[in-house]
Structure formats: structure tokens, C-alpha cells
Amino acid sequence: MAEPARHAFVIGFPITHSRSPLIHRFWLDQYRIDGTYEAVAVAPDRLTAFIASMHDRGYVGGNVTIPHKEAVHALVSRRDEAAEEIGAVNTLWFEDCALRGGNTDALGFAANLDDRAPGWDEARTALVFGAGGACRAVIHALKIRGFNDIRVVNRTVARARELADRFGAAVSAHPWDAAGELSTDVGLIVNSTSLGMVGHGDLDADLSGARADAVVTDLIYVPLETPLLRRARLRGLRTVDGLGMLLHQAAPGFAQWFGVRPVVSEALRRHILADIERAHG
Ligand code: NAP
């Protein structure tokens, strides 16, 4: 007898911007899996009820995005190590009949760099702009890869200090104007702020003193080449855009729900890029 169709979701509020349905439906088609993946707008006051009713609604799991990642972390009693470290959940699935929450953003961040800038983790020193939710995933990924000197620069330096307290001695906190000096001897430079995104301001960092072998990466993928990445490329540095992080973070959830470990292919990347171009020209 054929297995029943499986159903998964992404929840957020609003949710119209999410490209997760495009990614998962691409894989469902590619692997000819009988399943669905839908975007569901869940208002904050409906979140607890939605999570409690997931199973009854017929879902095998789903993704969680802004603004629910921290709230879902508190709602799920069983979490993987990454979710515990980062303090946020972006993937839900059932295991032994119990709901489990994980965080795949750190894995996505590292897998994207593995793909597009092999050897990126050799220097073990990084300068990271930003101290928001995404930055916590970046720091977790860097710590797992053995980085022992992670310099966090943020407009609100108190938030960078909170991260240094949370993640321990490998992480230090710095004011924005220290970035130029801090960039001269690191192997990796990361933008985890929203600066550089279409409609936001530019991340105006001085990279003129950066090492010639430094890798520069941005979590933003609209535009694909942010002003920071452009400046770094023109200086001859290796650059990695943020789209691959989005694609790679999706893979573990798909494997949990649908039983196939999907490949992040150039065809998938082109599929999502075409949508970004349709939306932003
Ligand atoms: P968040 O929690 O809201 O944090 C935003 C960060 O940007 C904070 O550090 C904030 O500094 C900084 N910032 C905002 N406006 C600024 C300005 N005008 N000048 C200087 N700093 C400014 O957001 P998040 O969840 O960490 O996400 C950050 C970015 O990563 C977003 O663009 C998001 O789309 C992207 N992202 C991409 C992926 C991916 O898969 N590629 C995954 C997650 C996130 P303050 O602390 O001083 O406010």
C-alpha cells in the first residue's frame, strides 16, 4: 500500500516573503515525493495553539521563521544542541511521538562556505558585524569549526557584549568604529546585520587593511552581491553570498519530514534566483 502523503509548513508573521515553499516544493518535485509544503501565517497570539495542534492538523513538521524562532524554542521541550546553544528553533519534527525543535542555521552557514570557499575555516579568527538572532547561529557555527577568536562588532555594543557573555572566551565585543583595525588580521569577515539589504543602508566597513586571503561573506541574499561583497571582490578577496545558507539550512528539515536527504544543486539556486529577480528586478 502506498504511504500517505506527508505535509509540512513554514510559520511566520507575516509569511508572504518566505522562499521556503519554493525550495521544498522544488525538492518534492525533483524526488517525486507525495507531500506538500505550505506557508502559514500564524499571529503571535495563535502560536501556542498552532504548535499544540500540529499533529492533529496532519503535519509531520515544519519550519519556523521571524518572529517566532525564540518563542517556539520555549514551547518545545526537546531541542537539539544547536537550538539549545543558539536559543532559537527554526525546524520542528516528531521523534518517538514527541515534538522536537532544532536549529539548522549554523549548519547552513558553514555548509554554504564549505561549498563556495573551501578552507574558509583554516584561520580560526573572524570579524562578525551584527549581534542579532542570525549572529548567534554564526557564532555557534564558528565555535564548532574551532574558531577561537571571534570579534563581534555591533552598533549597540551592549548586544555584542551579551553574546560574548553567552558564548564564552572565544567571543569578544567591540564598537562599530573598531572594525577597520579589527579586520586586518582575521581570516573571515561576516555581515550578519541587515545593512546592505535592498531598502536598508549600506554596511560601510573599511576593508582596505584586510588580509589578501580573507574570505568575506554576507548573510543577505537580496541583492545577491551586497555592496560589502562587491567592495571585497574588487579588492580581490574571496566572497560568498547568503543564498547558499538559506538553501543549506532547509535540507535537514526536508530529510526529517520526507525521508530523502536533498542536494543543494545549481538548478535549485537558479530556481530561487529567478524568483528573486522577478520580485526585485
Ligand atoms: P536582527 O536580530 O533584527 O538583528 C539585526 C542586526 O542588524 C543587529 O545587529 C542590528 O544592530 C543591526 N542593524 C540593523 N540596522 C542597522 C543600522 N542601521 N546600522 C548598524 N547596524 C544595524 O536580525 P537577524 O535575524 O539577526 O538577521 C540579520 C540579517 O541576516 C537579515 O538581513 C536577515 O535577512 C539575514 N539572514 C539571512 C539568513 C540566510 O539564510 N541567508 C538567515 C538568517 C538571517 P543593533 O543591535 O544595534 O540594532
First to last CA, the chain: 47
Arithmetic mean of pLDDT, 148-168: 97
pLDDT 10s digits, 233-263 = 999 999 999 999 999 999 999 999 999 999 9
Q: Which of 19, 24, 69, 73 is catalytic?
A: 69
Distance 276 CA to ligand 1 centre (A): 19
Number of the ligand 1 atom closest to the C-alpha atom of 243: 41
Q: Whose CA is nearest to atom 46 of ligand 1?
A: 156
Among residues of the chain, what percentage have pLDDT more than 70? 100
The amino acid at residue 60 is V
Distance 193 CA to ligand 1 centre (A): 3
Nearest CA to 148 among 112, 121, 108?
121
Distance 123 CA to ligand 1 centre (A): 25
Amino acid 2: pLDDT: 72
Mean pLDDT of the chain: 96
Give the whole-angstrom CA distance, residue 19 versus residue 17: 7
Q: Contact at 8 Å (CB) between 10 and 27?
A: no
pLDDT 10s digits, 95-130 = 988 999 999 999 999 999 999 999 999 999 999 999
Among residues of the chain, what percentage have pLDDT more than 90? 92
The amino acid at residue 4 is P
* Residue 143 annotated to the active site: no
Nearest CA to 31 among 264, 272, 262, 252?
262
pLDDT at 199 over 70: yes
Amino acid 1: pLDDT: 63
Ligand 1 binding pocket (C-beta < 6 A) is: 105, 108, 130-135, 154-156, 159, 192-195, 197, 201, 219-221, 242, 245-246, 249
User: What are the beta bridge partners of residue 172?
Assistant: 151
pLDDT 10s digits, 25-83 = 999 999 999 999 999 999 999 999 999 999 999 999 999 999 999 999 999 989 999 99
Amino acid 150: pLDDT: 98
